[in-house]
């Protein structure tokens, strides 16, 4: 097989058994790799109703066929599991270099099952795998864990690990590789912690063989040059993802004070421009990336002194605007604390912002918050809450459960402003200011997520997604059922980036034909644009089927009541709210070929996609 290493590593942590098995070529042709192939394993191997934090759940690391090749920005890996945050299909994706080094050990993926009775970590050295005792690593931060493992094994090993947040089963704990790259969403770090798996250290130099080497190199170089000449590169390399802060704020859709408004009045204090002019010391790129959107930043002195990466757009949204912090130094410090403890910045910041509003409304009191006054705009409160959450200390034990569960426990109408979908906290784009985003959040398989469709680009910033010809939104302030096909098509296209092992930003610079050419020349199959689209649709439907099997219904494809009931009070989108969700959902399900009442893929659609094995099981 070309593009693939041809093997999967299986690790049963309950009995420390490690085995290898060949990759199934037919499954690769159906689901490609990455999250697609991992979702097929998840469907096959995790029983209905399995406890996400129990031994029956699987934790699946998977690379794609383009991972580690010359293809632009092809250094990514994914982690697929049943999410402890949502109870449905969960996936997290990360860049950096770890995924490439792992693939070069000779494996395309790892499937972890069971749970170890004691802390362990996995070492894969040039194809040889063994479990090692991690007792001395347990309780250590991400940086400490990296340093200790490299001291023992050697500096040429790459490490992916959990922090204290994952050990303590924080529902939104993440997995960190390359010190600051995060497989961030859905609580994959908590699943890793539940299995007492602290880290995976890899070293590999095996060649990744492609089918048509000369042609693949030619196509890759052409596409690399196209990205280099794009506005995408100019803006992201200069200002990073934080370049969007001003753009979203001026549209009135930058969620502020837990989504009570969409305008952050002091945006210039925490913007991407300010970051570039004050704290930025260097730019960093993931493997084979022509852009370098990563920020290396330093706060030189004061209570928030730190050195690391970020903050990204979502960190500035979650800790800056949502928590109303006007200090970029404090936001950067919060970002690095989350990296250190292994927490998803979106869910952590959103949960803290939610708690602040509960405190503001008198629903949470000082007696319940360890004496802390959870006031919006207080950076010291944020800095103290993050370690409490990671260690599940005091009020942190409650907040570690995420906004959905906190709201259920508190009651008193808090469900209205608990800003999540399916249990996953929402990113920093208010759909009251770009209506199509509401549908994208509601229908995303993993919950309140901006990357599933990434419709925010064409809706908020007028950046087309070239992999989908019809990605233009005519009027972002109008809920147009005809435009719901854009969401469906973007979901399918973006699913392919997680299956290929490449960065979704590349979809803004390269068209579907470019990617079909790269896949075909890599794996040696005749691969068309139709294959590209159909594979993405197949994977998306299988992920949906898994969630439906676990209880997901049309009622879960919804938004927090605040977005339906409270018009934005100011800014360019003043007076707007989401009003036609049911009509939009009906149109979307029609385009998807799903039953409108149950939101299930129909037997006809499943058969069309070759998912006959799902029929009768959802």
Q: Report CA torsion sign: 236, 240, 244, 246.
A: negative
Closest by alpha carbon to 306, among 263, 278, 337? 337
Q: What are phi and psi of 530, to 5 degrees?
A: -65, -40
**472-494 average pLDDT score:** 94
Residue-wise pLDDT for 173-203, tens only, equals 999 999 999 999 999 999 999 999 999 999 9
**Rounded CA separation 118/140 (Å):** 15
Residue 469 banded pLDDT, cuts 50, 70, 90? confident
At residue 466, the pLDDT reads: 87
**Rounded CA separation 212/524 (Å):** 7
Yes or no: domain 435-558+580-614 corresponds to CATH 3.40.190.80: no
**Rounded CA separation 551/48 (Å):** 10
Closest by alpha carbon to 444, among 432, 456, 460, 433? 456
**Rounded CA separation 34/91 (Å):** 10
pLDDT of residue 470 exceeding 80, the answer is: no
Residue-wise pLDDT for 433-448, tens only, equals 999 999 999 999 999 9
**301-306 average pLDDT score:** 97
Closest by alpha carbon to 163, among 153, 172, 154? 172
Q: Where in the chain is the domain with CATH 3.60.9.10?
A: 7-203
Q: Do 344 and 291 meet the contact criterion of CB atoms below 8 Å apart?
A: no
Residue-wise pLDDT for 414-423, tens only, equals 999 999 999 9
**Rounded CA separation 288/572 (Å):** 39
Kindly report the CA angle at 533 between 512 and 421, in degrees rounded to 5?
Answer: 105
**Rounded CA separation 101/63 (Å):** 11
Token pair listed for 104: 């070069």
At residue 155, the pLDDT reads: 97
**Rounded CA separation 478/481 (Å):** 9
User: What single DSSP character describes residue 301?
Assistant: S
Token pair listed for 129: 């795998």
At residue 169, the pLDDT reads: 98
397: number of Cβ within 10 Å: 14
Quote the mean pLDDT of the chain.
Answer: 97
Residue-wise pLDDT for 20-30, tens only, equals 999 999 999 99
At residue 592, the pLDDT reads: 98
**127-143 average pLDDT score:** 98
Q: What are phi and psi of 364, to 5 degrees?
A: -105, 135
pLDDT of residue 363 exceeding 90, the answer is: yes
**Rounded CA separation 48/339 (Å):** 33
Cis peptide before 86 (omega within 30 of 0): no
Please list the alpha-helical segments (H only) found in 395-468: 395-399, 403-410, 436-443, 456
pLDDT of residue 471 exceeding 80, the answer is: no
pLDDT of residue 152 exceeding 80, the answer is: yes
Q: Do 416 and 464 meet the contact criterion of CB atoms below 8 Å apart?
A: no
Percent of residues, the chain, with pLDDT higher than 90: 96
Residue-wise pLDDT for 316-331, tens only, equals 999 999 999 999 999 9
Q: What is the gyration radius of the CA atoms in the chain, in angstroms?
A: 22
Q: Do 319 and 351 meet the contact criterion of CB atoms below 8 Å apart?
A: no
**Rounded CA separation 522/4 (Å):** 9
Strand partners, 368: none
What Å distances lie between residue 368 and 61, 371, 388, 472, CA to CA?
A: 39, 7, 13, 48
Residue 462 banded pLDDT, cuts 50, 70, 90? confident
Question: Read out DSSP for 133-193?
Answer: E-TTTTT--HHHHHHHHHHHH-TT-EEEE--HHHHTT-TTB-EEETTTEEE-STTHHHHHH
The overall longest dimension of the chain from CA atoms, in Å, is: 68
pLDDT of residue 231 exceeding 90, the answer is: no
At residue 361, the pLDDT reads: 98
Give me the residue label for tokens 């949906």: 544
pLDDT of residue 214 exceeding 90, the answer is: yes
Closest by alpha carbon to 410, among 373, 358, 473, 346? 358
pLDDT of residue 464 exceeding 90, the answer is: no
At residue 457, the pLDDT reads: 86
Q: Do 204 and 102 meet the contact criterion of CB atoms below 8 Å apart?
A: yes
Give me the residue label for tokens 């070069």: 104
186: number of Cβ within 10 Å: 33
Closest by alpha carbon to 605, among 584, 590, 617? 590
What Å distances lie between residue 132 and 152, 455, 578, CA to CA?
A: 11, 43, 52
Residue 463 banded pLDDT, cuts 50, 70, 90? confident
- For residue 21, count CB atoms less than 10 angstroms from its CB and return exposed for 0-12, middle for 13-18, buried for 19 or more: exposed
Q: Where in the chain is the domain with CATH 1.10.569.10?
A: 240-424
Residue 284 banded pLDDT, cuts 50, 70, 90? very high
- Helices (H) and strands (E) counted in the chain, each on its own, are 25, 17
Residue-wise pLDDT for 544-602, tens only, equals 999 999 999 999 999 999 999 999 999 999 999 999 999 999 999 999 999 999 999 99
305: number of Cβ within 10 Å: 12
Q: Where in the chain is the domain with CATH 1.10.599.10?
A: 435-558+580-614
Q: Report CA torsion sign: 383, 389, 395, 400.
A: positive
What Å distances lie between residue 166 and 55, 122, 187, 339, 595, CA to CA?
A: 16, 16, 8, 12, 37
Q: Do 186 and 83 meet the contact criterion of CB atoms below 8 Å apart?
A: yes
Token pair listed for 495: 């699913």
- Of 548 and 466, the structure prediction assigns the larger pLDDT to 548
At residue 347, the pLDDT reads: 98
**18-45 average pLDDT score:** 98
Closest by alpha carbon to 298, among 339, 329, 261, 274? 329
User: What kind of fold does domain 240-424 have according to CATH?
Assistant: 1.10.569
Q: Which CATH class is domain 7-203?
A: alpha beta
Token pair listed for 535: 């594979």
Residue-wise pLDDT for 501-535, tens only, equals 999 999 988 999 999 999 999 999 999 999 999 99
**Rounded CA separation 414/398 (Å):** 14
């Amino acid at each position: 097989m070309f593009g693939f290493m041809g093997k999967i590593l299986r690790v049963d942590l309950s009995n420390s058994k490690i085995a290898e098995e060949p990759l199934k070529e037919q499954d690769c042709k159906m689901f490609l790799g990455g999250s697609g192939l991992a979702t097929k394993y998840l469907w096959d191997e995790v029983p209905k109703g399995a406890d996400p934090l129990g031994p029956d759940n699987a934790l699946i690391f998977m690379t794609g066929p383009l991972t580690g090749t010359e293809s632009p920005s092809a250094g990514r890996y994914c982690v697929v599991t049943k999410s402890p945050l949502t109870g449905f299909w969960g996936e997290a994706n990360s860049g950096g270099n770890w995924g490439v080094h792992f693939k070069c050990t000779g494996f395309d993926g790892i499937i972890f099952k069971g749970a170890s009775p004691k802390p362990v970590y996995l070492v894969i050295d040039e194809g040889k795998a063994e479990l090692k005792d991690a007792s001395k690593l347990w309780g250590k931060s991400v940086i400490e864990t990296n340093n200790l493992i490299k001291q023992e094994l050697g500096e040429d090993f790459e490490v992916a690990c959990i922090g204290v947040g994952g050990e303590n089963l924080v529902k939104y704990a993440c997995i960190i590789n390359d010190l600051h790259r995060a497989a961030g969403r859905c609580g994959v770090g908590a699943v890793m912690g539940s299995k007492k798996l602290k880290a995976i250290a890899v070293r590999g130099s095996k060649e990744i063989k492609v089918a048509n080497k000369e042609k693949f190199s030619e196509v890759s170089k052409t596409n690399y040059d196209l990205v280099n000449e794009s506005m995408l590169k100019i803006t992201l390399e200069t200002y990073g993802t934080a370049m969007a802060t001003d753009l979203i704020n001026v549209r009135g859709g930058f969620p502020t004070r837990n989504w009570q408004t969409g305008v952050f009045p002091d945006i210039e204090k925490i913007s991407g421009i300010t970051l570039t002019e004050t704290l930025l010391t260097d730019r960093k790129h993931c493997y084979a990336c022509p852009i370098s959107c990563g920020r290396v930043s330093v706060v030189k002195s004061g209570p928030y002194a730190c050195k690391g990466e970020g903050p990204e757009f979502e960190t500035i949204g979650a800790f800056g605007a949502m928590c109303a912090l006007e200090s970029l130094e404090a936001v950067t410090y919060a970002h690095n604390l989350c990296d250190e403890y292994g927490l998803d910045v979106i869910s952590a910041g959103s949960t803290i912002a939610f708690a602040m509003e509960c405190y503001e409304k008198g629903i949470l009191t000082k007696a319940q918050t360890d004496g802390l006054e959870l006031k919006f705009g207080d950076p010291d409160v944020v800095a103290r809450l993050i370690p409490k959450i990671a260690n599940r200390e005091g009020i942190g034990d409650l907040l570690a459960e995420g906004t959905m569960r906190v709201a259920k426990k508190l009651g008193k109408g808090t469900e209205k402003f608990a800003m999540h979908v399916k249990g996953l906290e929402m990113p920093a784009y208010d759909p009251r200011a770009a209506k199509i985003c509401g549908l994208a959040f509601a229908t995303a398989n993993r919950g309140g997520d901006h990357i599933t469709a990434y419709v925010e680009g064409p809706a908020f910033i007028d950046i087309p997604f070239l992999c989908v010809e019809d990605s233009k939104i005519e009027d972002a302030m109008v809920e147009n059922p005809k435009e719901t096909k854009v969401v469906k098509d973007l979901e399918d296209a973006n699913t392919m980036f997680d299956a290929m092992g490449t960065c979704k930003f590349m979809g803004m610079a390269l068209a579907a034909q470019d990617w079909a050419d790269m896949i075909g020349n890599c794996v040696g199959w005749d691969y068309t644009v139709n294959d590209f689209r159909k594979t993405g649709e197949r994977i998306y439907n299988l992920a949906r089927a898994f969630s439906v099997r676990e209880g997901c219904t049309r009622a879960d494809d919804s938004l927090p009541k605040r977005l339906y009931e409270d018009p934005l009070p100011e800014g360019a989108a003043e007076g707007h709210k989401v009003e036609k969700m049911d009509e939009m959902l009906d149109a979307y399900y029609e385009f998807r070929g799903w039953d409108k009442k149950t939101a299930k893929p129909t037997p006809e659609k499943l058969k069309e996609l070759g998912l006959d094995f799902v029929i009768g099981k959802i």
